[in-house]
Structure formats: C-alpha cells, structure tokens
Amino acid sequence: MSTNFQLDTATSRANPTPAPMRRLTVPAIRQRKMNGKVEEPIVMLTAYTARQAQLLDSHCDILLVGDSLGQVIYGLPSTLPVTVDMMIAHGAAVVRGSYHSVVVVDMPFGSYEASPQRAFENASRIMEATGAAAVKLEGGEVMAETVAFLVQRGIPVVGHVGLTPQAVNVLGGYGARGRDEAEAEKIMQDAQALDEAGAFAIVLEGVLEPIAIAVTQALSCPVIGIGASAQCDGQVIVAEDMLGMFERVPRFVKRYGNMAEAISQAAEQYAREVRDRSFPGPDQTYQPK
C-alpha cells in the first residue's frame, strides 16, 4: 500500500493516510510497449504542487515535475535558471500529493551535462529528497553514456529529444524540429541511442509528425509525444496550458478548460463583496452563544 498525504484543515498539516491502490512502477510503464505496440496510451501531465498532484493523479500514469515550473510557477524567461533545489521542493510536494502515478522529476540545466558522475550525484540527491521514481534529462546521443551510467546504478531515466528547451540558445528558438533530412536523421539517431542506453521512456517534443511516427515505430521503449503525433505511445503537456491558465499557448496544446477566467471571476466577486462589506457574512463569522 502506498502512502498519500491529505491536508488536515483543522491544523493545516499534511497527514499520511493509506492510499486506495498501489502506485504504478517504472517497469509497468516500460512494459506498456510490447512487440513495438502500446495498447493503452500513456497519460502524462506536469504537476508542481501537492494539491495539483491530488487532482491529476488518478487520471494519469506519469506526473512530470517539469523544469517548465521556471516559467509557469516562477515567471522566469526560460527553464535555464531553474535549480536542483527548486526541483526537489516541487518534486517532494508532488510525491506527497499522489498515490497512483509514477513521479518523474526533471534534471535542470547544468546538473547533469558535465559528466555521468555529476549526473549521478544530482539524480541520486533528487530521488532521495523527493521519493520520486525517476528523473528526466534532455539530449540525445551525447547523453547516452550518462543515461546508461544512471540506469546501471539504479536510477530510472526518461529521455527527451527533438525540441529540447534547455538547448534553446543553440537551437535558436522553439520552432518544430526535423524540417530537413539531416535533422530528421539526427532525431532518430538520438532517440535510438537513448533507447539502447536503457531509458524506460522518451519524450519526443516539437517534431514533424512523420518523424514522430517513425521514431515511435523504431524504438522498443515507449515514446511520449508533445507536439508530435497521436500515434506516439503516450502524450504529455503542461497542465496549466491544458487548463487554460495562460492567454497564449503553443500550437500543440488543446485547452480543456478556462481556469484563468474562472479564477479572475471568483477574485472579482470576492473583491466586490469585501468592498461592499457583504463578506464575511453570518456563515463566515463566529457569534457569541
């Protein structure tokens, strides 16, 4: 039985409670793809807080604590300033708020590129401090040795190829990748290298659909698309984009809600009732008996 943490409204503390089911495992995700096919596509969303994890968990197979929190939570211009400490704080919160999904934590820029040993030091710290099941890192062939090094030492890894946001300065922007033959071939080589190195899944971001389909068919591990193809073995998007928290979203995002408008309307009503002194009312105040 896994453990979930529920907020005690009387004390505002998170108390451990038995969870209703066992948490999914990395091998269970990897085994979704057998003989080159996934019968039930993998559902993956980002999560950054305990409450968000509670709301998303039962619907997902994987919760990704993405370094996209730099922009979504902290208002940073890119993912590059995100630190290991930031990822640990949010990763631990998501683990506490979930009981079903595999929790994967992004390794931020500069925490793994220098050497496999450096990557292991930071990855092991992240997993020990958060209780997450795996880490994710960006890069293709150049990171294959690091992926193998981590996997051989007991750290499951999700790879990430195609459009890799941490390399935005090298790529020159966030445009779709694979528009010429050489780049398309490189994406395939990168994905295959990570597959062979032992990644249990690979995120394929922002590539032309024919490339996404070809990569998905070529790899033995599940390929999780974002701006790729419905034919991938699963999908991931940033939850706040999906929920309509921002005015502008990438082309590959479908909005399934308009939470920004709902929050704004609720705040408007609250402000109006505070100003006209109708809040708090009898139901929200304590009267003498």
Local confidence pLDDT in tens for the 289 residues of the chain: 345 556 565 555 655 555 666 899 999 999 999 999 999 999 999 999 999 999 999 999 999 999 999 999 999 999 999 999 999 999 999 999 999 999 999 999 999 999 999 999 999 999 999 999 999 999 999 999 999 999 999 999 999 999 888 876 666 565 777 788 999 999 999 999 999 999 999 999 999 999 999 999 999 999 999 999 999 999 999 999 999 999 988 889 999 999 999 999 999 999 999 999 999 999 999 999 8
Give the pLDDT of residue 251.
87
**Contacts with 13 (C-beta within 8 Å, 6 or more apart), sequence order:** 7
* Three-state secondary structure call for residue 229: coil
Residues 40, 113, 183, 205: which is the catalytic one? Answer: 205
For residue 196, indicate whether it is catalytic.
no
Q: Is-contact 71 109, C-beta < 8 A?
A: no
Give the pLDDT of residue 282.
94
Is 190 annotated to bind ligand? no
Is 8 annotated to bind ligand? no
Q: Is-contact 172 165, C-beta < 8 A?
A: no
- Domains detected in the chain: 3-284 (3.20.20.60)
Is 289 annotated to bind ligand? no
- Collect contacts of 171-178 with beta carbons under 8 A, ≥24 apart: 174/206, 174/250, 175/206, 176/206, 176/207, 176/208, 176/227, 177/206, 177/207, 177/208, 178/207, 178/208, 178/211
Is 283 annotated to bind ligand? no
Residue 273: other Cβ atoms inside 10 A: 13
Give the pLDDT of residue 2.
46
Give the pLDDT of residue 56.
97
